[in-house]
Amino acid sequence: MFPGSPPELDPNEWWGAKDLRGKLDTSIRPFKIKFTDEMIKDLKSRLSNHRKPAPGLEGAAFTYGFNSGRLSWWTRYWSEQYPFLEREQFLNSLPQYVTNIQGLDIHFIRVKPKVSKGVTVVPLLLMHGWPGSVREFYEAIPLLTTQTEGYDFVFEVIVPSLPGYGFSEGAVRPGLGTAQIGVIMRNLMNRLGHKKFYIQGGDWGAIIADAMATLFQGEILGMHSNMLMVENTCSTLKRLVGEFIPSLIVDSHLADRMYPLTKYISYLLEEFGVALSDSPAGMLAYILEKFSSWTRMEHRLKEDGGLTFRFTANQLIDNLMMYWTSNSITTSMRLYAENMSSKNRALDIGRYYSAVPAWALQAKNELFYQPPHMIRSKYSNLLGVTVLDDGGHFIAFEMPKVFVEDVFKAVKAFRQFHKTKTEL
């Protein structure tokens, strides 16, 4: 199942313009998000003049996608009530930078804590997914960088926009999948002076974290994931057996998180079957539908999609602005095609063993679930699994305190793991 050592990817593979190769600027430059008057004027015009959507079906709520009857409320709010200047200032309240890695300008947040004597600062790389952004972590970052009772360490937090997302440049040629992004993330951390560090990810960030914990096992001190999935022969066979006899694979009270498989396969086909419009109204409808159903699947039965159940309108539109202001919706979605390409599928990162200590945070309404014995088929050093009776796909954004508490708990276990190994 584990065929020797993982593949070695080119650490200098170039993803930018060819004429810039050999002229790499390795400086780290301050960055500010800017909502220009021209952009705001154009955005408001598009929101005010979007084509009226076809009426929704009676009683369908969000079960056929975003409820078209609610679209006008959101477009009006974005255009007339969203406080652009105030939100721009908020988004710039955390220090941000840009540096060029392998030909691409990579945008990232970096927050260093102030600590008292005897407290260790450890580096933590946080990675978002689609259709999220660095905005998911704004509420969690102050908690991660503040000394917490019961812990003798605190985090220096680095939160990059993935290549092609937000204010990070997208590749100019095909091939940039999650494994290659893992190389870029590792090179970013090395650029910032961190040769060994902890990683955390959800959605695409979880898949990138898995790649990093496979490719760079001597550098990753621990991996915390809120969507830890193992894809290898063992996990696939177990999943299929569980379709017929769930009790052999998963505890009865958790079985509905995995089975029936038809329920989840049909749901995912439904999710990926819709094309995006190039209008802000279309983008809003597509992305906010994910923040509805991926937070609670039953929110699809609500007329308003339950969007403000845990999020405010400003929080959700902040995330939309990360895509609209940077014009990155197209480049962000290319990651789906890149990761499914024959070249990147052939890497088959899932079949390689990893000795990196790992920790899984499993929200009740996460899109995917695997029991610990399936995860251990790859991660023998799975040190902990936190099973929540609440929460969804965007757990750091939805429940930042719960998320942060679990990250601290995991990293404490990782540090003890390495200490014990050293003592032995």
Strands, DSSP E only, in 78-145?
Answer: 96-101, 104-111, 120-127
Tokens representing 313?
């309108």
User: Catalytic one among 203, 210, 318, 406?
Assistant: 203
Which of 362, 354, 291, 332 shows the shortest CA–CA distance to 161? 332
> From the CB of residue 128, how many other CB atoms can be counted at a distance below 10 Å?
28
User: Catalytic one among 336, 373, 390, 418?
Assistant: 336
10 is catalytic: no
Tokens representing 187?
């090179």
Tokens representing 57?
């079906």
Measured CA to CA in angstroms, residue 264 lies from 268, 287, 340, 376 at distances of: 6, 20, 19, 23
pLDDT single digits (tens) 13-59 = 999 999 888 788 899 999 999 999 999 999 999 998 876 766 666 66
64 is catalytic: no
Are 171 and 98 spatial neighbours (Cβ–Cβ below 8 Å)? no
pLDDT at position 53, please?
A: 67
Tell how strand 28-31 and strand 96-101 pair up. Answer: antiparallel
Tokens representing 178?
């999650």
Which of 206, 172, 180, 158 shows the shortest CA–CA distance to 104? 172
User: Catalytic one among 50, 107, 128, 393?
Assistant: 393
Beta bridge partners of 106: 99
pLDDT single digits (tens) 157-173 = 999 999 999 999 999 99
Cα 196 to the chain's mean position, in Å? 21
Buried b (16+ CB within 10 A) or exposed e, 261-296: eeeeeeeeeeeeeeeeeeebbbbbbbbbbbbbbbbb
CA distance 319 to 288: 10
Are 411 and 386 spatial neighbours (Cβ–Cβ below 8 Å)? no
pLDDT in tens, the chain (424 residues): 445 789 999 999 999 999 888 788 899 999 999 999 999 999 999 998 876 766 666 666 676 667 777 888 999 999 999 999 999 999 999 999 999 999 999 999 999 998 888 899 999 999 999 999 999 999 999 999 999 999 999 999 999 999 999 999 999 999 999 999 999 999 999 999 999 999 999 999 999 999 999 999 999 999 999 999 887 555 455 444 445 555 555 566 655 555 554 555 444 444 434 334 458 988 898 899 899 989 888 887 787 888 888 999 999 999 999 999 999 988 888 888 888 788 888 888 888 999 999 999 999 999 888 889 889 999 999 999 999 999 999 999 999 999 999 999 999 999 999 999 887 6
203 is catalytic: yes
All residues at 6 or more sequence positions from 65 whose CB lies less than 8 Å from its CB, including other chains? 274, 285, 289
pLDDT at position 252, please?
A: 61
pLDDT at position 301, please?
A: 77
Helices 280-293 and 313-326, packing angle to 10 deg: 130
Beta bridge partners of 132: none
Measured CA to CA in angstroms, residue 189 lies from 2, 120, 165 at distances of: 28, 18, 18
CA distance 366 to 351: 23
Tell how strand 120-127 and strand 197-201 pair up. Answer: parallel
**End-to-end CA distance of the chain, in Å?**
29
CA distance 135 to 424: 42
Which of 421, 18, 68 shows the shortest CA–CA distance to 222? 421
Which of 102, 108, 113, 138 shows the shortest CA–CA distance to 125? 108
Which of 319, 327, 300, 276 shows the shortest CA–CA distance to 134? 319
Q: Which domains does the chain have, with CATH numbers?
A: 1-30+101-244+327-423 (3.40.50.1820), 33-93+278-323 (no CATH)
